[in-house]
């Protein structure tokens, strides 16, 4: 997906809106993005998806989502949102949280073909409340609850334990992939939350989502102040310097090298970690940045990074991967600093990430 989206960006840079090929390239890129979203759904279930969490008010998030939900539910289904008083904050990826709510709402709509009511309720859950819930898998603590309840047909008891499995669905194959609830489960678990289903056939289904309540720390305050003080990102994404690009997929490496080359950088290419070490030893000039895939045959990115420390001391590294940072960060030395760019990425995202890291050297 990275290669397809990337080459589309390169083509769009040469074909303007009036060009006959422009619309065709846009269609290819849109369909590639749809395929990338499917990949993200599968990664979300396995909890290996890259999330970008931020501190969020659920009251505000649901208010922004209300109009979209009303359109999705159609006129047959009444939408009722009950906001909790003095609701605590949560730290989540807003786009993924919205996907969770939308998936649950669409499932509820399909369970109410003749109409009904969907109620979304939020509330604070104290540590004492969490103890009273007595969920053995959920640690005691402070949470924020999102409850999504419908008055639909309900889920039979024999299916309730399978609903979070990938590709399990009771819908007609043309109406569902079976990935909706598995995606919901993966996103919630990766966020550090918990989700529990309750259902009665003929009466409806309720999903209760418990997200850890966010408590601001001194480090968070300092990071927030630094972010406010940082000037806006420059529109100019060109630069100078030498970049070592390590990627075993030929198409991705070719796209990334061309993208960086057109932005003014000199690019040294390597198709594996071993080749990258040979390139560094043979190159007599200065290497300013390493951009490397994480998962590669024989020698992966983190292993290569350990070997490079002695050859390129202090040289920054950008790891690119479709997996979450936590999936590989544990394999790095504790003092190894690195930056991260999730796959699939566009030409602009790659250029911006390189510009930011090179500018902070």
pLDDT digits (tens, 9 = 90+) for 243-280: 999 999 888 899 899 889 988 999 999 999 999 999 99
- 161 has pLDDT over 60: yes
CB 295 within 8 A of CB 246: no
- 173 has pLDDT over 60: no
- 43 has pLDDT over 80: no
The model's pTM: 0.55
Q: Specify the DSSP class assigned to residue 348.
A: H
How many Cβ atoms sit within 10 Å of the Cβ of residue 24? 13
Q: Is 92 left (phi over 0), alpha (psi -120 to 50) or beta?
A: beta
Mean per-residue pLDDT, 181-204: 91
- 105 has pLDDT over 90: yes
* Residue 178: per-residue pLDDT: 45
> Could you report the per-residue pLDDT of 278-317, keeping only the tens digit for each?
999 999 999 999 999 988 888 988 899 989 988 999 899 9
Q: Environment class of residue 276 by beta-carbon count within 10 Å: exposed (0-12), middle (13-18) or buried (19+)?
A: buried
| 79/119 Cα distance (integer angstroms) | 6
Three-state secondary structure along 24-93?
HHHHHHHHHHHHHHHHHHHHHHCCCCCCCCEEECHHHHHHHHHHHHHHHHCCCEEEEEECCCCCCCEEEC
Cα angle: 175, vertex 177, 179; to 5 degrees: 135
Strands 339-342 and 317-321: parallel
Q: Environment class of residue 178 by beta-carbon count within 10 Å: exposed (0-12), middle (13-18) or buried (19+)?
A: middle
- 3-state DSSP assignment of residue 7: helix
């Amino acid at each position: 997906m990275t290669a397809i989206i990337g080459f589309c960006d390169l083509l769009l840079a040469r074909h303007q809106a009036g060009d006959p090929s422009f619309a065709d390239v846009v269609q290819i890129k849109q369909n590639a993005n749809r395929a990338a979203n499917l990949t993200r759904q599968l990664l979300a279930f396995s909890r290996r998806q890259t999330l970008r969490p931020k501190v969020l008010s659920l009251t505000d998030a649901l208010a922004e989502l209300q109009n979209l939900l009303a359109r999705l539910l159609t006129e047959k289904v009444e939408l009722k949102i009950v906001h909790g008083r003095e609701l605590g904050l949560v730290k989540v990826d807003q786009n993924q949280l919205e996907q969770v709510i939308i998936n649950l709402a669409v499932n509820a709509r399909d369970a109410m073909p003749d109409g009904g009511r969907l109620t979304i309720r939020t509330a604070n859950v104290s540590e004492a409340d969490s103890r009273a819930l007595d969920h053995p898998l959920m640690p005691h603590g402070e949470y924020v609850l999102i409850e999504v309840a419908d008055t639909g047909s309900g889920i039979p008891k024999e299916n309730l334990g399978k609903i979070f499995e990938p590709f399990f669905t009771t819908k007609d194959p043309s109406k569902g992939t079976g990935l909706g609830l598995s995606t919901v489960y993966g996103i919630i678990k990766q966020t550090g939350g918990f989700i529990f289903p309750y259902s009665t056939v003929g009466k409806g289904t309720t999903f209760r989502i418990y997200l850890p309540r966010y408590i601001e720390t001194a480090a968070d305050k300092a990071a927030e102040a630094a972010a406010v003080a940082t000037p806006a990102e420059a529109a100019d994404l060109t630069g100078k310097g030498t970049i070592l690009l390590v990627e075993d997929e030929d198409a991705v490496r070719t796209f990334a090298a061309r993208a960086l080359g057109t932005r003014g950088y000199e690019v040294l290419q390597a198709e594996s970690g071993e080749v990258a070490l040979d390139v560094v030893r043979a190159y007599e000039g200065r290497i300013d940045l390493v951009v490397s895939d994480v998962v590669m045959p024989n020698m992966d990115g983190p292993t290569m990074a350990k070997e490079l420390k002695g050859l390129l001391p202090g040289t920054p590294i950008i790891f690119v991967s479709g997996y979450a940072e936590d999936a590989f960060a544990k394999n790095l030395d504790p003092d190894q600093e690195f930056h991260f760019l999730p796959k699939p990425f566009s030409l602009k995202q790659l250029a911006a990430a390189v510009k930011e890291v090179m500018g902070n050297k």
